[in-house]
Structure 1
Amino acid sequence: MKKSFVPPSGPPRTLAVAQLISRTGDGAYYVTAALFFTTVAGLSPGQLGLGLTIAWTVALVVGVPLGHLADRTGVRRSAVVFFVCASLAVGSYLFVRSFPLFVLSASLYAVAQRSGSAAQQALLAGVVPKEQITHVRAVLQASYNAGLSVGAALGGIVLLFDTRGAYLAAFALNSAAFAVAAFVLWRVPSVPPSPAPPKGEKPQPVYKDRPYVAISLLNLVLVLHVPLIDVALPLWIVGRTEAPPWVLSVMFIINTLAVVAFQVRVARGVTGLTSAARYVVRGALLLGASCVVFAFSGSGGSAWSAVLLLVAAAVVQTMGEMVQMAGTWEISFGLAPDGKHGQYQAFFGTGLTVAEIVGPLALTGLLVYWGTPGWILLGGLFVAAGLATTPVVRWGERALAARDAASGTRTLGVSDDTLVKD
């Protein structure tokens, strides 16, 4: 199989196009949302923060039940429905001018976005051959970042104009992008719904799959690098280093473009669960090393020395992110039973949701107020979570093999030595 940035024709390419379109709208939304809600919608910063926290908490609570519903009703249909709901939610922002309505719209958006993403991942598992899963997932991640980059550039133009009409146009773009992405997803072949369990047999929910719960908790620690970039680093740069604020833009560009250019190439080494666990360990070590470099950026000296250290740390952190994510994608699919990918991907995705809810407060206290020791502790947490991944994956493989032996079925997990080399 020839691997390149362009995904294989058919369903993988359609999924990548849907990802690119939807995330272009999201990129414009992320750049302009805070100013829109506080200057156009009339919310206070406190109301904005509280409303978003409520919204993502709702998404966290209903994510797994909706994932299970997607498995039973069809993941393609569910993905399309969730994307349409996301379009309607963002469109409703154009008319929201009160806090209760904002909470309602934001909750619908958070639920639709998270559940739509889980259904999309389950759809990927149903239409892409096993040996292509990680490669196609890497292409989707590159499409994700490419869309965010284009959308962020469009959002920058909106900020340049800084008018009510420009902000409304950005939100209208995001709403339209989700609607178009839903139409594109409908062109992906349908995946049969998972059958109901035999009469009298109680289905096992993901919560009772202890190895999968453990690997999801480890992933929660590892994805703390997401709020690290979004929230903690800007405060660290301004409050603890001599570097100018514009260095944050440079770091964001490095991260985004590197993922677009290199994520697919990085993921080529993941050929099964064993190599995936090795990748997570390597990624965690790189994330830990980046924390050490970030810590040194606040040690004083000139502004340019701080800039160089911050940029170097951003490069190491981005490498760690790409390597770690390539491994966790394979693990999240490989340890999930057939017919339950909607439920399992929804549960695995709750790690990112929890990180986005508690991460800003936790990382701000750890890094901005505690300083260098906080960075070292965070790096140690990354490394510990990475090292723990290997035994947990082996535990999950044994549990999955036992279930397969009992049911006489095979799952998505692919052993490294069963793959046909290119």
Structure 2
Amino acid sequence: MTTTPASAASDQDGDSTVVARPDRATRAAGLLPADSALRRATLITVFNSLGNGLYFPLGVLYFTRIVGLDATAVGLGMTMAGLVGVAAGVPAGRAADRWGARQVGALLWGGTGVATAAYVLVHSYAGFLVAVVCATGLQMASRGVQGAIYADVLPAATRVEARAYLRMITNVGMGVGGAFGAIALQLDTRGAYMTVILVNALSFLAPASMVRRLPLAAHVVERVAAQKEPAAVSSWRAVRDLPFLAVTVLNAVLVVQYTLSEVGLPLWIVERTEAPRWTAALLMIVNCVLVALLQVRVARRASQVPSAVRAMGWSGLLLAAACAVYAVSAGLSPVWAVLALTVGAVVQVFAEVLSAAGGWTLGYELADARAHGVYQGVFGAGFSAGMMAGPALVTVTAIQHGAVGWAVLGVLFAVTGLAVRPAVRWARRDGEWRGEAVA
């Protein structure tokens, strides 16, 4: 992929993008965005992550404690909603290619906000199913469209670093929102829960009104101006692009690592180790802080295909090492168990930032730039599928079978990370078919 020099580009609404430093997306040691498009995307991310973090600690509790639904039934409904979201990812991406990623993204976020606000009206399981399927389905479908939006509005040369910066902002926003969500949990009243739900709904509605005004990047304007072949010709190409699908599946397997922190480790700590329960919170804090410190720096070093492939390979090996350390913690005293779990969490953070950066790069660089919507829809659907399968996979391996289960997970991660290299070579050989050379 060719890099775009610093320049101003106008979109259909007359807005312009000025890439201040084509070699960097951020400044001030990675703490501040360096160009106007990233600044606007940052504002959108702040709104959305604050609302999501606010809602995350109490979403399930609202439906069980306040509405009075059975916890198992709620879990089943959320799983159904997740399946709908995975299935909707590709059609949403197709729509983004046809009508514009920003326009479709605005509709999906707006719809998510309305459906989320409808939670306050739920009084039955049927109402819960309708609301959660709409809200979760639309939100998950928007994941790939969001990737396509970033492909359109962020400078190509710094896009991966910009994604890393936005992920850092997301982590910080989720953390701040979660702190306020804890206050609502402590109040434990219907009014407190409903207030959180409505604020979370606004965190989707506000970005929906802002995303359509994001300016197109210079490389997109130039491509559209020079394009002679209609974009619709390649609209469904990602669905039959076997090399890209292979990379998507491998990335989905590595995505399972996120559920280690969210589901696996809390269960492991409580059920299998002598570590105190607060260790789970400690490891989450370690993860958030280190991701915020490392993600942008790592992304700068994994913004090309060869470096991204290496990052994915190292990620798999580091995840295997983290799994081994977690397994050892089961036979240790409380103090040593906490130490071992912390070491494993630090190793996992390095794996996480490497795989995230590598995944962003490969998701963009192996895609046909004329159909980023459907390509990012496929890649986002793979991400969602990995997140959905993760809790069950971690439970039936590590939690149920201890060290043997951790070994199975470790081998799976290591093999997956190393398999990225031949999959990308396949994609490179197939580059002519996709209509453009793969960098």
Q: Pick the aligned partner of 2:292 from 260, 263, 275.
A: 260
**Is 1:284 the equivalent of 2:316?**
yes
For 2:146, give the aligned amino acid: Q
The range that moved more, 191-200 or 48-57, is 191-200
* Paired letter, 1:255: N
Deviation per CA, 1:382-404, whole angstroms, max 9, x where unpaired? 11000010111121122123433
Tell whether the 8 Å contact from 2:256 to 2:389 is kept in structure 1 after alignment.
Answer: no
Residue 5 of structure 1 corresponds to 31
Give deviations 1:52-89, integer Å, cap 9, x for gaps.
01101111112101110111001001111111111111
Residue number in structure 1 paired with 2:334: 303
Tell me if structure 2 keeps the 8 A contact 1:72–1:196: no
TM-score, normalization by structure 2: 0.88
Corresponding residue number in structure 2 for 1:418: none
Moved more, 107-116 or 310-319: 107-116
Match of 1:348? 379
Distance 2:261 2:72 in 1: 21
Aligned counterpart, 2:345: 314
Q: State the one-letter code of the partner of 2:205.
A: A
How big is the shift at 1:114? 1.7
Which of 179, 204, 207 aligns to 1:181? It is 207
- 1:197/1:64 CA distance change after superposition, 3 Å: farther
- Residue 136 of structure 1: aligned partner: 162
Q: Is the 8 A contact 1:12 1:124 kept in 2?
A: no
Note the 1:3-82 alignment, pairs <5 A.
3=26, 4-82=30-108
Residue 80 of structure 1 contacts residue 116 of structure 1 at CA under 8 Å; is this kept in 2?
no
Report deviation, 1:234. Answer: 1.4
- 2:406 counterpart residue number: 375
**Structure 1 CA distance, aligned partners of 2:232 and 2:32?**
47
Partner residue, 2:395: 364
Q: Which residue of 2 aligns with 1:242?
A: 274
Alpha-carbon distance change, 75 to 238 in structure 1, aligned in 2, over 3 angstroms: same
Tell whether 2:255 aligns with 1:229: no
1:123 to 149, 157, 171: 149
* SS across alignment from 1:218: helix
Bigger mean CA offset, 70-79 vs 360-369: 360-369
Residue type of the alignment partner of 2:249: L
Partner residue in 2 for 1:326:
357
**2:425 maps to what in 1?**
394
**After superposition, what is the alpha-carbon deviation per residue over 1:140-175, rounded to whole angstroms, capped at 9, x for unaligned?**
111111111111111111112122111111111101
Q: 1:31 is aligned with what amino acid? A: P
What are the ranges of 5 or more consecutive residues in structure 2 without an aligned counterpart? 1-22
Task: Give the whole-Å Cα distance in 1 for the aligned partners of 2:118 and 2:136.
Answer: 13
- In structure 2, do the counterparts of structure 1 residues 196 and 355 end up closer, same or farther at CA, with 3 Å as the change threshold? farther
Match of 2:192 among 159, 166, 176: 166
**Counterpart amino acid of 1:208?**
R
- Say if 1:20 and 1:203 are closer, same or farther in 2 by CA, change over 3 A: closer
- Alpha-carbon shift at residue 129 of structure 1 (Å): 2.1
- Partners of 1:25 and 1:289 lie apart in 2 by 35
Partner of 2:137: 111
Q: Residue 203 of structure 1: CA displacement?
A: 5.4
The alpha carbon displacement at 1:202 in A equals 8.0
Alpha-carbon distance in 1 for matches of 2:434, 2:306: 19
8 Å Cα contact 2:255-2:387 kept in structure 1: no
Cα 1:198–1:140 change in 2 (3 A) is closer
Whichever residue aligns with residue 154 of structure 1, its letter is F
Closer, same or farther: CA 219–297 of 1 in aligned 2, 3 Å = same
Distance of 2:57 and 2:97 partners within structure 1: 34
| Identity %, equivalent residues | 35
In structure 2, relative to structure 1, the CA distance for the partners of 1:75 and 1:196 (3 Å cut) is: farther
**Using the alignment, how far apart are the partners of 2:60 and 2:137 within structure 1?**
19
Aligned length: 407
| CA-CA distance at 1:40 after TM superposition | 1.0
Secondary structure of the 2:302 match is: coil
CA RMSD of aligned residues (A): 2.1
Q: Secondary structure at the match of 2:42?
A: helix
CA distance in 1, matches of 2:61, 2:151: 38
> Partners of 2:93 and 2:236 in 1: how far apart?
14
Q: Helix, strand or coil: the match of 1:403?
A: coil
- 2:397 and 2:228 mapped to 1: Cα distance? 46
CA contact (8 A) 2:234 2:370 kept: no
Tell me which moved more, 47-56 or 154-163. 154-163
Go from structure 1 to structure 2 and tell me whether the alpha carbon gap of 1:169 and 1:63 turns closer, same or farther (over 3 Å shift).
Answer: same
- The alpha-carbon deviation at position 198 of structure 1 amounts to 6.2
| Separation in 1, partners of 2:66, 2:229 | 50
